[in-house]
Copies of this chain bind each other. A is one copy, B any other.
Amino acid sequence: MAFSKKEEFTKEDMWLADIAKALAHPARIRILKILTSMNACMVGNIVEQLPLSQSTVSQHLKELKRVGLIDGEIDGPKVCYCINNKTLSKAKKEMDKLYSIICNC
């Protein structure tokens, strides 16, 4: 992103852009769907369902966690990930707000 000038934008636009960035890879969209369909699950379970290595999936999980869209809970040597519905609700709300502003529909 080089030396980005993001400070010059509103907090709302920056937050939404950040959420959009987290959604900007099909693997991460897939992960959210997987977590929903299984309610919650271990990393290994997610890796199985994606055409990516364990380390790459771990990075995608980290990105989703960074923006708060998912939570990870340590369970022995495993880690159980799940959707963070609070952040997701907020994301939906803000996204709807954006569309209500810019969309004629």
Chain A contact residues, CB within 8 Å of chain B: 5-6, 8-10, 13-14, 16-18, 20-21, 23-30, 32-33, 35-36, 50-52, 83, 85, 88-89, 92, 95, 98-99, 101-105
Contacts and interface: CB of A to CB of B under 8 A. Distances in A.
A85 B103 contact: yes
19 contacts: A5-B51, A9-B27, A9-B30, A10-B26, A16-B26, A17-B28, A17-B29, A20-B21, A20-B23, A20-B29, A32-B102, A33-B102, A83-B104, A85-B103, A88-B102, A88-B104, A89-B105, A92-B99, A92-B103
B17 A26 contact: yes
Number of copies: 2
